[in-house]
Amino acid sequence: MRNLIWITVLIISAIAVACTGKGKTGYVSPQPQTLAEDSVFEDSVIDIASIEMKGRVIEDTVIGHWTVKTTKDSNNVVVVVKHYWYKEDSPYWTVRDSSVFVTLLYDNKVVYSNKEIRTKDLTGTEGEFEMHTGGYIHWVSDSAIYLYFGCFIPDSDIGWDLLYQILPDGTSNIIDMYCDPAAEGNCVIAYFLAMYLNEMAAHSSAADMKRVFDLYCTNEITDQLCAGTLQVVPDDIDFRYANQTTNIDNLDGYKCPLENYSFKVKFKPDPNNKNRTDSVYMEVDGKSYKISKIDKVFPDTIIKEVLPLIPIDTEPDTTESATGLVPIAVDDAN
């Protein structure tokens, strides 16, 4: 559950910052999606305590513009636990799945009122994965709030670490927080890009972006990013699509410890041009575990000119008209 430990540490760090200012073996990742929610955003002001919510309280707090209360309770879905290494006649057991209920206000105006979030709302299916964890605040900015969910096959680390991003108008986006915990520094890159790209998509303020930089980057990199002298990705891309198509190559393999860990990040910036792939080189400092180097973004896909092939049994044309040169006579007698 090392991936789950990583995300738990960052949840605690993110909440602290906000208040002051996966193994997925054998499964295809859920498609990140943008959901147009049936929000109950209203102009009326209500008392959040007046809304009855089922289950155990997970969060009940006010941070910045946001007032949030989440609870977790079992639902009617039964998850049959039969791990992929078991045979068909192996014993199995069942567990009851859970739902998270969210009541959310922005500037005291209702965004969600006791909204139920089920496993199928996150992964697209029900009955296979259990909502092991859900409803905790991962990050808060003026433009969005992020709730963490962990959906796994019971008694395994097979599943997903997910963020549920909610905007003030009730629109939500599911963010896959997968990383490779076996490669030192990989999770730092993955979590930074997930937060950076989705905060950019939410048009977050410079102050909120600096909080992201402070959490994941060295002071030098943070200063350059805030000053605009360094870019992570181009300004004219589709940030959510870039996050959905991100692929992180571990250039050092799984070697450790190292002074710096190197990565090449590839992503597709334009959903209307599937042939274009951009990439950026990044390093993570081996002591601070913060991003210490970001090289410029450059196109990774290069279209090369295709030259006509000359058949191997064809003698080259050495005439003056073909080469522009005057042939040199050779005396066979010599």
Q: Which domains does the chain have, with CATH numbers?
A: 1-178 (2.40.128.510), 180-304 (3.10.450)
> What is the chain's pLDDT, residue by residue, as a tens digit (334 residues)?
444 444 444 444 444 434 433 334 333 344 444 444 444 444 455 666 667 788 999 999 999 999 999 999 999 999 988 765 555 666 678 899 999 999 999 999 999 999 999 999 999 999 999 999 999 999 999 999 999 999 999 888 889 999 999 999 999 999 999 999 999 999 999 999 999 999 999 999 999 999 999 999 999 999 999 999 999 999 889 999 999 999 999 999 999 999 999 999 999 999 999 899 999 999 999 999 999 999 976 676 543 434 444 444 444 454 444 444 444 444 444 4
- DSSP SS3 for 247: strand
pLDDT value, residue 112: 96
Q: Beta-carbon neighbour count of residue 208 at 10 Å?
A: 20
- What is the spatial distance between Cα 288 and Cα 309, in angstroms, rounded to a whole number? 53
Strands ordered across the beta sheet of 145-152: 34-35, 172-176, 159-166, 145-152, 130-140
- DSSP SS3 for 81: strand
- What is the spatial distance between Cα 134 and Cα 121, in angstroms, rounded to a whole number? 12
- What is the spatial distance between Cα 191 and Cα 181, in angstroms, rounded to a whole number? 12
pLDDT value, residue 92: 74
pTM: 0.76
For the chain, how many residues are written?
334
- What is the spatial distance between Cα 111 and Cα 134, in angstroms, rounded to a whole number? 19
pLDDT value, residue 296: 77
- What is the spatial distance between Cα 299 and Cα 314, in angstroms, rounded to a whole number? 38
pLDDT value, residue 86: 56
pLDDT value, residue 82: 73
Q: Taking the alpha carbons of 191, 192, 193, 194 in that order, is the dihedral positive or negative?
A: positive
- What is the spatial distance between Cα 191 and Cα 10, in angstroms, rounded to a whole number? 9
Residue type present at position 283: E
Q: Is 232 in contact with 225 (CB distance < 8 Å)?
A: yes
